[in-house]
Amino acid sequence: MKNENAIVIGAGIGGLATACLLATEGIRTTVLEKNDTPGGKMQEYIEAGYRFDTGPSLLTMPFLLEKLFSRCGKNLNDYLEFSEPEIICRYFYSDGTLFDSYSDPDKAIKEVQNIAPADADAYRSFLNYTEDLYSKTADSFLFNPLYEFKDLKSLNWLDLLSIDAFSTVSDKVDQYFESDYLRQFFKRFTTYNGSSPFKAPATLNVIPHVELNQGGYYVQGGLYRIAESLEILAKELGVTFRYNTPVTEIMVKQKEATGVKAENGEVLNADLVFANSDATDTIVNLLPECALSKRKRNRQIKIEPSCSGFVIMLGCNKQWEQLRHHNIFFSSDYKKEFEQIFEQKVLPDDPTIYIANTSYTDKNHAPEGGSNLFILINAPYLSDDQDWELLSINYRDKIIKLLSDRGLKDLENSIKVVKTITPFDFYNRYGSNRGSIYGTSSNNKFSAFLRPRNKLREFENIYLTGGSTHPGGGIPLVLLSAFNALELMKR
Ligand SMILES: Cc1cc2nc3c(=O)[nH]c(=O)nc-3n(C[C@H](O)[C@H](O)[C@H](O)COP(=O)(O)OP(=O)(O)OC[C@H]3O[C@@H](n4cnc5c(N)ncnc54)[C@H](O)[C@@H]3O)c2cc1C
């Protein structure tokens, strides 16, 4: 492979990880990115002394980053410093009840006993159940490219019969818990891959395992340090980066890609093409129309995206003692909230509000005495009848008022910096399918099998990486997509 050259389209986490792995194999690698920074949806925003991560704020399964760095001959700890906030997240229920989640089992049980004493045993057994799901699904669905017959053959079919693919997250959680508090708490994890707990298969109850049993991590300085460190690593390995270079076409000849065309008309030849661009965009827009069957293109167009997000970043000259690093203000009617997002495709009128307040951990993320509130609300993916310019300001003001009513006293008057990001911005800036932020949704029991695999079967040398491909969205799965793509290339 020594004389081969590869082009990676996109410098998101998937593209960066892929570039590092390719360079480690001795392949000359160039990354072409449409924007002017690495990281894709993982970005940072700094204004007037306030600093925000504009994308991910929680890292799970950090051992995958460790694996990536060590595969590239480096030690992760030379690049990044991790910490684990003692309270993983503070929850504020609509009736004023407060609940802190911990990965420490004793502390967690104490908290559960405060709000739902009758469910303490159920809490323990539910976590065992999520661990069991992980052990039955991780090798089969995450660490496995699921590409050809031999991948399917390696599955343990007996295990697969007991991973609850035929009931929903919500049904299973309701079976375990009496308490509405714990029901809402455990249903929220489905949003980590942008899906509805009322539709997604109960298999997704595996997600609480990776946070509550394995731990939720922060990277000192902010999660954007991950993107920066991957770019540094890639450059050390000899990868070339070209920013402000949107790719408009993957050029193909029969069953092979020959290279790509950039927006400025430049043609770059390549032996291998790895697309970290959204899979729908790659299949429908970057490949020539005649390169793939109409059926395949239509199937890709019809695939349901994950939800999007409505983000408000507030730099405030005030601190609220009740806030921790991660905070969730729950809505009063979870079912209605998800119906509004996924069925009616409107912004929920009583949304669940997530706030990352990294200045709680990283004091220099806000001027002294201030806070940097990164507010995220699950929002519908783009549809024809939304006007985000119009919606944006009203909704932002509504959320600020809502938070003030929920205890962030005087929020309106403490704001020094304000910036919003809408679903349209996610589409426009990163080319993500209808503004989705976690790739495709899992609102279907077969979704694990519907996501595009990490290699296009129709071509010898086109690979797909990133959250819109197998095994799914979120930093850990995106890293796994890069490992899978590399394995398929080696095969
Ligand atoms: C607000 C928010 C909060 C999140 N929170 C978390 C969290 O707490 N934990 C977590 O694990 N995950 C979280 N996620 C999800 C996580 O950010 C994503 O799953 C992950 O970053 C996606 O990486 P990617 O490589 O798949 O794609 P992207 O980040 O979308 O990168 C794709 C890159 O390709 C570029 N590109 C696209 N088309 C072209 C083209 N034609 N030519 C050149 N370049 C192109 C884009 O500009 C982009 O840089 C969050 C996401 C958002 C937006």
What is the residue with the minimal CA distance to atom 5 of ligand 1? 56
Residues 140-175 have pLDDT tens digits of 888 989 898 888 776 777 777 788 888 999 999 999
What is the residue with the minimal CA distance to atom 27 of ligand 1? 12
CATH of segment(s) 120-213: 1.10.405
At 1 the pLDDT is 57
Q: Judge whether 276 and 250 are in contact, CB under 8 Å.
A: no
At 386 the pLDDT is 85
At 162 the pLDDT is 80
Ligand 1 in contact with 311 (CB < 6 A)? yes
The ligand 1 atom at the shortest distance from the C-alpha of residue 38 is 49
Tokens of 357: 């307040």
Question: What separation in Å is there between the alpha carbon of 40 and the centre of ligand 1?
Answer: 4
What is the residue with the minimal CA distance to atom 19 of ligand 1? 474
Question: What separation in Å is there between the alpha carbon of 13 and the centre of ligand 1?
Answer: 7
| Amino acid letter, 438 | Y
Average pLDDT of 451-472?
Answer: 96
At 447 the pLDDT is 81
Q: Nearest-CA neighbor of 376 among 53, 61, 94?
A: 53
Q: Nearest-CA neighbor of 307 among 473, 458, 186?
A: 473
Q: What's the burial of 257, exposed, middle or buried (CB within 10 Å: 0-12/13-18/19+)? A: buried
What is the residue with the minimal CA distance to atom 45 of ligand 1? 10
C-alpha distances out from residue 24 to 233, 238, 274, 295, Å: 10, 9, 15, 37
pLDDT of 222 above 60: yes
As its CATH architecture, domain 307-430 has 2-Layer Sandwich (3.30)
Beta bridge mates, 407? none
Q: Judge whether 300 and 452 are in contact, CB under 8 Å.
A: yes
At 384 the pLDDT is 87
Average pLDDT of 239-244?
Answer: 98
Average pLDDT of 184-206?
Answer: 96
Q: Nearest-CA neighbor of 13 among 28, 25, 27, 33?
A: 33
At 2 the pLDDT is 57
To test ligand 1's pocket by mutation, which of 21, 264, 276, 375 has the most ligand atoms within 8 angstroms of CB? 276
> So where are the chain's domains?
5-40+222-304+441-490, 120-213, 307-430
pLDDT of 220 above 70: yes
**Whole-number mean pLDDT of the chain?**
95
pLDDT of 381 above 80: yes
Residues 263-278 have pLDDT tens digits of 999 999 999 999 999 9
Same fold, 5-40+222-304+441-490 and 307-430: no
Neighbouring CB atoms inside 10 A of 394's CB total 10
Ligand 1 in contact with 35 (CB < 6 A)? yes
What is the residue with the minimal CA distance to atom 37 of ligand 1? 277
Ligand 1 in contact with 467 (CB < 6 A)? yes
CATH of segment(s) 5-40+222-304+441-490: 3.50.50.60
Ligand 1 in contact with 16 (CB < 6 A)? no
